[in-house]
Amino acid sequence: MKFCLSTLRVVDLEESIKFYKEIIGLPVVSRFSAGPGIEIAFLGSGETKIELICGGESRETDIGEDISWGFEVESLENALSMVKEKGIAVIGEPMQPNPRTRFFFIKDPNGMRIQLIENLE
């Protein structure tokens, strides 16, 4: 068994796709209508994809603070500069819980906590 996708219901599909393409660097793999008023987009370049769903009965999202998605970056300093240039708020200060890992958090347009991680090994 392998982990193949994580789904997020979004309020604005265009805004969410733009965030995951420009900030995280994920390509759109597919995008399609899934019924009246519902659109789905899959993003990612590895075996695990992010599924964004927009529309249907509810246009609201309910994302808890206990969930986050982590993405590895080559340079934490470069990632920090880039998100600040784009006007994205950094949640707290960058942390280094051990000698091999540094990270910080931001939020996507829907409130999902995103962890940008630099592995120092």
Per-residue pLDDT of the chain (121 residues; tens, 9 = 90+): 889 999 999 999 999 999 999 999 999 999 999 988 899 999 999 889 999 999 876 667 777 778 899 999 999 999 999 999 999 999 989 999 999 999 999 999 999 999 999 999 7
Per-residue HEC secondary structure of the chain comes to CCCCEEEEEECCHHHHHHHHHHHHCCCEEEEEECCCCEEEEEECCCCCEEEEEEECCCCCCCCCCCCEEEEECCCHHHHHHHHHHCCCCCEEEEEEEECCEEEEEEECCCCCEEEEEEECC
Same fold, 1-56 and 65-121: yes
The residue extents of the domains of the chain are: 1-56, 65-121
Query: Which architecture does CATH list for 65-121?
Result: Roll (3.10)
Per-residue confidence (pLDDT) for residue 101, from 0 to 100: 96
Fold for the domain defined by 1-56 = 2,3-Dihydroxybiphenyl 1,2-Dioxygenase; domain 1 (3.10.180)
Indicate the pTM of the whole model: 0.87
Q: What's the start-to-end Cα distance of the chain, in Å?
A: 28
